[in-house]
Structure 1
Amino acid sequence: MPLTPIKIFILICGFCSRFHAIEYPPVQTQNEVLHGSDVSLRCDVPLLSESSTLHWETDREETSNTTLMYNNSAYIILHTVDERNEGKYYCRLMKNRTVQTVRIHTLNVISHSYNAKNKNDTIYRQSSSNSDVLLICKSSKKYDSLKWTWEQRPNSLIDLIAVEKGKEVQLKGPIKPGRRSSTTYNSQALIFHISPVNFNYSGTYRCITNIGIYTTTVLRTIRVSVEPPDGVLRNQSVVLTCELSEVNDSVTLVWLRMEGNRGVLVKQQITTEKNNTLRFTVNLSSYETDPLRWQCAVFTENTLRALAPVTISLTSSTTNAPSISTETTTVKKHAAHKHGRHTLACVLTLFTGILLGALLYYCYRKRKSKCYSVHSDRQESEPVYINISQMRNNRERSNTLGNRENSPEIYRNIRRNRYGKPNVNIRDETPGTSESVTYATIYFNKSKFQT
């Protein structure tokens, strides 16, 4: 029976669907973890298109823990697991409105925190105000004494919290315990809660019983920052910095630009050397500052250990400026604002100068008027002695010419009477002869006197 084109198409579709089913078979894994430890799960697919999503779910609901999609993989981190985290975790791929289960992970939590393999349990925490660490020392046996110690650097052992049978809990050391720390004696469990986590809290924490070391937890802290810190223009370049404390093994730091839960690689750094603090920076150009959400991811052996998010904040003047032309307009507005402020300052300075000049001129006139008044009073209060004979000759000369304006100038002493009229008193002490000189005192009203 010959194959028609329709049959060939049906066979190809069936083969592709069968191949698709074989390509993504559900993989089942199972893992046992200690009580209080961190668990990182990973799910991979060969190719993840932009329209498809990959996420983790549990038996009860979609998990609300840390989730990241990066390089065709979905990651999830479970912090400080306990019995509530037990169960099945499903990694599911949604593509073309169909859902396919890619991986099934069964998680079993051991009731105690004792590590039989005597390995250090390393956890990572971001240094921030809402980050915390719960150090749980839980055993199946009873002990007379329990305590948590902290060794920030070699040979620097410090007791943080201790309890003995029949005694109250003793708080020691520089780290203030959080609200979930133990407050009463329990022969099988001792909890030390750190909240918030500071960057310098990294180090080795040990739970020690009256027999010896029970469990060891190594804390690595991570912090991120953005420069400038007070907000940037939309098209301004910025610097992102990621710091990791106490690097002792192979670690990969990655800066991711976030598009929803999907991370896009921008820069990564792999280090195998021992460092007290690993510093990893990335310089972002103007077009890369448009996405505001970024994350610094820490990987060890392809396992996601920590995520530290950072958000680039924009200044309010350029929040609605998505393009370069709009940015140029904003710059012009800033220039106009600056010019306007300069003009206003000049006007205020000029106005202040005018007021100051007017005040100085007023004070000068007032002082001059006062001085003139004092001088006039002084002249008016002094008696003046004149030659009577000379005054007669001048009067006769003025009568001859018929002009009163040519009368001699007379120095007078002014005294007002009670009616405001001048008083002229002349007293001759010697007979009036041509050679004799007579002295007189004249009082007159200056306002009504006419020469």
Structure 2
Amino acid sequence: MHIISFFVLMLKIVFCYKSQEVQRGSDVSLRCDVPLLSNSSTLHWEKDGEQTPNSTLMYNTSAYIILHTVDESSEGKYYCRLMQDGSVRTVKIHTLNVTSYSQNKRHTIYRQSAHNSDVSLIFKAKQNYHRLRWTWEQRPKSQIDLIAVEKGRAVQIKGPIKPGRNSFTTYSGQFFIFHISPVNFNYSGTYRSITEKSIYTITILRTIRVSVESPDGVLRIQSVDLTCEVSEVTDSVTLVWLRMEGNRGVLVKQQNMTEKNTMLRLTVNLSKYESDPLHWQCAVFTENTLRALAPITINCTSSNTTAQTESSTVTNQVIRKVFCCVLTLFTGILLGALLNYCCRKRKSVHSGTQESEPVYMNINHMRHDRGKGSMNKREEIPVTSDSLTYTTIVFNQFRFQT
């Protein structure tokens, strides 16, 4: 059985070769199928032997890749590689050619409504056109001008959607890029580049929005709802919610929509508690072609983890209260000690002043007893600091006034 599968796979390797020419500025989706793909096997896309900058999705037994806004740098050979049992085999080779100009082409692109999402609307013509303008029709018969420019002059901004950082500021007559970033959900609609002669390019933009919310308003306690919305359905569209395990998507829920001019919405409820982050992607398919991927990551905390978190919060609050009480008590003790020290120092200062008077009296009597001359006293008055100025001392026949 394994030998038969191996030969079938080898036949696919030999004969699965495709070449494609696409319009400059459009999105390209490539697909690679392998029968009997085991769980340990992986599929991925490479360009000219190197990993592509775009993400690869593995779903069922297929590997998908989306190339956004292709140009000359997107040209080349794309290889679908199968890694199985330690060996690498090439399953598919896809050669991509990109047209140099974008005249008289109409294409549809999908973009997620997110802060890091963008759209580059490209105008490139063979001949020179003096004037160019980009218009936007959000609904039928609601066309408005976004920007207008003349050759060699600066851009005139007219509409509500402002040019992004990668937009051209002047017009050369043949080449211009109108960049939009970020992409809002209500930016869906039809964008046209129009010269002074006619409509040159038509780009239809469909926007995707993913969201997560809890029916009870608290994400970590109860279940959550994941919702994916597409702004408008014009073809047969399928929405798929995939739980990601690496780059492999596991189908959880899908919905088909064929009614035109309506918004498509798909919601999946997550009632199981998980402690690790959950990686999800909403995939948009038209027939068997992957058109867009909108990733989202959520983190549902289990009830046990919630209880532990709440217990830890209470413990931290108790610790903070005890610390505040100890700090207040310690501060009170310091203030009390400081006040006691100040009072004692003040008393010592007053007591020192009062005890100094007898010292002066003793000194005065000591001088009177030890002097060899005689002391003439005017009156017997109490000795004070003021009275000392009136005392006369005779010593060795010399008179000193103090």
Q: TM exceeds 0.5?
A: yes
Change (3 A) 1:332 1:293: closer
| 3-state secondary structure, aligned to 1:22 | helix
Unaligned runs of 5+ in 1: 1-11, 322-326, 346-451
The CA distance in 1 between the partners of 2:284 and 2:2, in whole Å, is: 42
The answer as to 2:201 corresponding to 1:225 is no
Change (3 A) 1:151 1:289: farther
Match of 2:179 among 189, 193, 206: 193
The CA distance in 2 between the partners of 1:193 and 1:59, in whole Å, is: 28
Alignment TM-score, normalising by the size of structure 2: 0.73
Match of 1:170 among 147, 150, 156: 156
Paired residues of 1:126 and 1:197 also in contact (CA < 8 A): yes
The CA distance in 1 between the partners of 2:8 and 2:294, in whole Å, is: 39
Cα offsets for 1:8-57 (capped at 9, x unmatched):
xxxx9876654552355451101001111111000001121111110001
Taking only the aligned residue pairs, the percentage that are identical comes to 66
Task: Give the letter aligned to residue 227 of structure 2.
Answer: T
Match of 2:124 among 130, 133, 138: 138
Paired residues of 2:214 and 2:222 also in contact (CA < 8 A): no
> How well do the aligned residues superpose, as a CA RMSD in angstroms?
2.8
- What is the aligned partner in structure 2 of residue 334 from structure 1? 310
Match of 1:256 among 242, 247, 264: 242
Cα offsets for 1:110-152 (capped at 9, x unmatched):
001113xx5x310000000000000001111111211110011
Change (3 A) 1:330 1:155: closer
The CA distance in 1 between the partners of 2:8 and 2:213, in whole Å, is: 50
> How far 1:190 sits from its partner (Å)?
2.1
Change (3 A) 1:332 1:272: same
The CA distance in 1 between the partners of 2:151 and 2:252, in whole Å, is: 55
Cα offsets for 1:183-233 (capped at 9, x unmatched):
112111221110100001000000101110011000000010111399843
Change (3 A) 1:306 1:172: same
| 3-state secondary structure, aligned to 1:149 | strand
- What is the aligned partner in structure 1 of residue 334 from structure 2? none
- Taking the TM superposition and a 5 Å limit, the aligned residue runs for 1:273-422 are 273-286=259-272, 292-314=278-300, 318=301, 327-328=303-304, 330-331=306-307, 334=310
The CA distance in 1 between the partners of 2:8 and 2:191, in whole Å, is: 50
Paired residues of 2:49 and 2:79 also in contact (CA < 8 A): no
> How far 1:307 sits from its partner (Å)?
0.3
Match of 1:151 among 118, 127, 137: 137
> How far 1:243 sits from its partner (Å)?
0.9
> How far 1:163 sits from its partner (Å)?
1.3
Task: Give the letter aligned to residue 291 of structure 2.
Answer: R
- What is the aligned partner in structure 1 of residue 253 from structure 2? 267
The answer as to 2:115 corresponding to 1:124 is no
| 3-state secondary structure, aligned to 2:51 | coil
Cα offsets for 1:214-267 (capped at 9, x unmatched):
11000000010111399843x842100111102111100000000000000000
> How far 1:89 sits from its partner (Å)?
0.2
- What is the aligned partner in structure 2 of residue 106 from structure 1? 95
- What is the aligned partner in structure 2 of residue 374 from structure 1? none
- What is the aligned partner in structure 2 of residue 97 from structure 1? 86
Task: Give the letter aligned to residue 67 of structure 1.
Answer: T
- Taking the TM superposition and a 5 Å limit, the aligned residue runs for 1:9-28 are 17-22=6-11, 24-28=13-17
The CA distance in 2 between the partners of 1:329 and 1:134, in whole Å, is: 45
Task: Give the letter aligned to residue 312 of structure 1.
Answer: I
> How far 1:290 sits from its partner (Å)?
5.2
Unaligned runs of 5+ in 2: 322-402
Change (3 A) 1:162 1:332: closer
Task: Give the letter aligned to residue 104 of structure 1.
Answer: I
Paired residues of 2:274 and 2:299 also in contact (CA < 8 A): no
- What is the aligned partner in structure 2 of residue 40 from structure 1? 29
- What is the aligned partner in structure 2 of residue 65 from structure 1? 54
Cα offsets for 1:265-293 (capped at 9, x unmatched):
00000000024422211111215785610
| 3-state secondary structure, aligned to 1:113 | coil
The CA distance in 2 between the partners of 1:215 and 1:43, in whole Å, is: 30
Paired residues of 1:253 and 1:296 also in contact (CA < 8 A): yes
State which drifts further: 290-299 or 23-32: 23-32
- What is the aligned partner in structure 1 of residue 395 from structure 2? none
Cα offsets for 1:295-337 (capped at 9, x unmatched):
00000011000000000034xxx5xx6xxxxx44752763696
